[in-house]
A and B are shown apart, each in its own frame.
Chain A
């Protein structure tokens, strides 16, 4: 009956300070969302700074695979016209 378990994995994202983005902090093991939230709080928020937490079951995350990196990301790196430096403006004129 007794099966060995360390509980499912959850990924933890913390926001460190007002207006900062949530960033991946690490993982915890927990049996449900509330449990994961508590464990994330006890482990990743024990030194202050954190103002908000997200917990996500590991299997709910879809990650891109390294083989797709070329088609997914390279096309984004050669569109110079998306960057302000691409454009010329008369010397001495303040655009913003």
Chain B
């Protein structure tokens, strides 16, 4: 609030008028420092989530039960890396290098989606992640494709197009397993039981308690509230669960014919806070894996750059 007050009031008014007219903000446009900071925080958090998100699913690439499933999962995990890359590049247009962004992730200064701190215990988790976690992500990302910052919106449009298959492949795995052997059925129901509530938490705290929501909405970085998106996700998902004979672990779940909403029970936000604070089941493993890949790759990144410098020097020598 104080930062916004310190901005040039004429420029700020002009900026907000542009947003009001539905215009898109581009990297070289004037923007309040707070807008830039919020975007860097939100976009880098999103990029980190994609990259850390490669780990829980990557855990099953080498154990995928058919060659087709193996290729699909590999392509999906690869897409997540690609999406992380697109969003990092979008964030870099705000004047922060990827070196710095990754540093913030590895030192724990930046957050990533808490959903990826849960373990993938069976193959059914791969189906349920695609169905629920990607399903939730798509609801969120469809909204972000209309965000006010151009590079973020463009990255989201590309991502939404590519992610179309992620949810479908997940739901297909769940469908096949739900119709499968008793062991498979039990496996997929257990996975739904474990992933349901964390998926609902992906939309973030209730708007009443979300510290960033109001400002992000005013600046049209976000176009809808966390609660509205969460409700849309539940409404989409429950019929899908019913269609394949799976249940969600919520005794309070009921359909409200008047509002046409599936009303759900209270979310345990203490669990969410604990995972955010670093105390989820896999926080340490995830960060250790990212740090190891980064440290193990340092000599490769350096070698490539040194080789390019040598080549450039040789070319200059040759030209002289």
Least CB distance from A86 to B in Å reads 28
Q: Is B28 a contact partner of A7 (Cβ separation < 8 A)?
A: no
Q: With A and B bound together, what is the CA distance between A2 and B97 in angstroms?
A: 18
Contact with A along B100-119 (1 / 0, CB 8 A): 00110000000000000000
Q: With A and B bound together, what is the CA distance between A70 and B78 in angstroms?
A: 43
- CB neighbours (8 Å) of A35 from chain B are 304, 308
Least CB distance from A3 to B in Å reads 7
Q: With A and B bound together, what is the CA distance between A9 and B91 in angstroms?
A: 13
Main secondary structure of the interface of B (DSSP, over half): helix
Tell which of A5, A9, A66 touches B28, judged by Cβ atoms closer than 8 Å.
A66
Q: Is A31 a contact partner of B304 (Cβ separation < 8 A)?
A: yes
A4 interfacial contact with B, CB 8 Å: yes
B301 interfacial contact with A, CB 8 Å: yes
Least CB distance from A70 to B in Å reads 14
B158 interfacial contact with A, CB 8 Å: yes
Interface size on A, residues (CB 8 A): 21
- Given A4-B103, A26-B86, A43-B82, the answer on whether A31 and B92 have CB atoms closer than 8 Å is no
Contact with B along A21-57 (1 / 0, CB 8 A): 0000111110110010000000100110000000000
- CB neighbours (8 Å) of A2 from chain B are 298-299, 302
With both beta carbons as reference points, the residue of chain B lying nearest to A1 in the complex is identified as B302
Least CB distance from A68 to B in Å reads 10
Tell me which residues from 57 to 96 in chain A have a Cβ below 8 Å from any Cβ of chain B: 63, 65-66
Q: Is A26 a contact partner of B29 (Cβ separation < 8 A)?
A: no
With both beta carbons as reference points, the residue of chain A lying nearest to B162 in the complex is identified as A47
- Given A43-B85, A66-B26, the answer on whether A5 and B308 have CB atoms closer than 8 Å is no
B307 interfacial contact with A, CB 8 Å: yes
Q: Is B28 a contact partner of A29 (Cβ separation < 8 A)?
A: no
- CB neighbours (8 Å) of B30 from chain A are 66
Tell which of B89, B99, B311 touches A5, judged by Cβ atoms closer than 8 Å.
B99
Q: Is B308 a contact partner of A31 (Cβ separation < 8 A)?
A: yes
- CB neighbours (8 Å) of A31 from chain B are 304-305, 307-308
B156 interfacial contact with A, CB 8 Å: no
Q: Is A6 a contact partner of B162 (Cβ separation < 8 A)?
A: no
Q: With A and B bound together, what is the CA distance between A66 and B103 in angstroms?
A: 32
- CB neighbours (8 Å) of A7 from chain B are 301, 304-305
- CB neighbours (8 Å) of A9 from chain B are 89, 92
- CB neighbours (8 Å) of A28 from chain B are 85, 89
Q: Is A26 a contact partner of B89 (Cβ separation < 8 A)?
A: yes
- CB neighbours (8 Å) of B97 from chain A are 6
- CB neighbours (8 Å) of B298 from chain A are 2, 4
Least CB distance from B14 to A in Å reads 11
Q: With A and B bound together, what is the CA distance between A43 and B85 in angstroms?
A: 9
Q: Is A27 a contact partner of B162 (Cβ separation < 8 A)?
A: no
User: Taking beta carbons and an 8 Å cutoff, which residues of A are in contact with B?
Assistant: 2-7, 9, 25-29, 31-32, 35, 43, 46-47, 63, 65-66
- Can you sample 30 A-B contacts with CB below 8 Å? A2-B298, A2-B299, A2-B302, A4-B99, A4-B103, A4-B298, A6-B99, A7-B301, A7-B305, A26-B86, A26-B89, A26-B154, A26-B155, A27-B92, A28-B85, A28-B89, A29-B98, A31-B305, A31-B307, A32-B308, A32-B312, A35-B308, A43-B82, A43-B85, A47-B162, A63-B28, A66-B26, A66-B28, A66-B29, A66-B30
User: Taking beta carbons and an 8 Å cutoff, which residues of B are in contact with A?
Assistant: 26, 28-30, 78, 82, 85-86, 89, 92, 97-99, 102-103, 154-155, 158, 162, 298-299, 301-302, 304-305, 307-308, 311-312
